[in-house]
Amino acid sequence: MTHPDNGSNREMEPRVQEPLDLIEAGIFTLNAETKAILEDDDTPETVVQLLNSVRTLRKAFTDIEASVEATAVQRLAYGETQVGDLLVEVRSSRKRSEWRHDDLAWRVCQDLAFDSDGTQIDGVAEVVDKVRNRLLLCARPEWRMTPLKDLGINPDQFCLAGESRKTVQITPAVAE
C-alpha cells in the first residue's frame, strides 16, 4: 500500500503504513469533531481543553519529526538526492542572533561609496550612510546568507552564530 500524500512511488512497510493510516484517520475524525464541538459547545472549558490537547499532540508529532529527521540526516549524503518521486536535500544552517545590524549594513553598502581602486567617491559616502540609517530605522533586517557570502561577507562576523544544524528538505521531484 502506498500512502496517498507521501509522494513516493515505493511501497511502505506495513509496520510504518498501518500506524500512519491510523493517525491519518484519527486526524480526520478529530478535525470533523472539532468543528462540531466548536459550533455546538460554547463553554470556555471545553475549548481550552481541546486546544491544550491539540497542542500536546502537535508537540508529540514535532518530537517524532525531529527524531526521524535526525536519523535521515545521518543516513543521507549532504546535498540533493532523489528517493522515489521525491527530491531530498540535506541542508546545513546555523541559528544566528544578536546581529550587529549597523556594522553589517555599512559593510554591505561600503563598496558603493568607493571606486574600484578604493578611493572614496566624493559625496557618495554621506548619501549611502543616510540611506543605510533610514533603512535601519524603518526596517527589521532579516539577513540572507547566500547574498552576503556572494558579496564576500562572512555573516558570522556580525552576529552570534550557533552550532551548525542539518535539516532535510523534501519536495516532489520535477519530471524532466
Residue pLDDT, tens place only, 18-31: 888 899 999 999 88
CB neighbour list of residue 104: distance below 8 Å, 6 or more residues apart:
141, 143, 148, 153, 155, 158, 159
Partnered with residue 46 across adjacent β-strands are none
pLDDT attached to residue 103:
92
Distance, in Å, from the CA atom of 152 to the CA atom of 132, rounded to the nearest integer, reads: 19
Q: Check residues 5 and 134 and name the one with the higher pLDDT.
A: 134
Q: Where residue 10 falls among pLDDT bands split at 50, 70, 90?
A: low
CA torsion sign for 120, 123, 125, 128 is: negative
pLDDT digits (tens, 9 = 90+) for 56-108: 999 999 999 999 999 999 999 888 888 888 999 999 888 999 999 999 998 99
Distance, in Å, from the CA atom of 115 to the CA atom of 23, rounded to the nearest integer, reads: 62
pLDDT digits (tens, 9 = 90+) for 106-137: 899 888 888 888 888 888 888 988 999 999 99
Q: Let me know: does 104 contact 29? Beta carbons within 8 Å.
A: no
Distance, in Å, from the CA atom of 86 to the CA atom of 170, rounded to the nearest integer, reads: 6
pLDDT digits (tens, 9 = 90+) for 133-171: 999 999 888 999 999 999 999 999 999 999 999 999 999
pLDDT attached to residue 143:
94
All three cell numbers of 134: 533610514
pLDDT attached to residue 124:
87
pLDDT attached to residue 176:
64
Ordered by start, the domain boundaries in the chain are: 14-77, 99-158
Give the three-class secondary structure for 172: strand
Find the helix or strand (DSSP H, E) in which 145 lies: helix 145-150
11 pLDDT higher than 90 = no
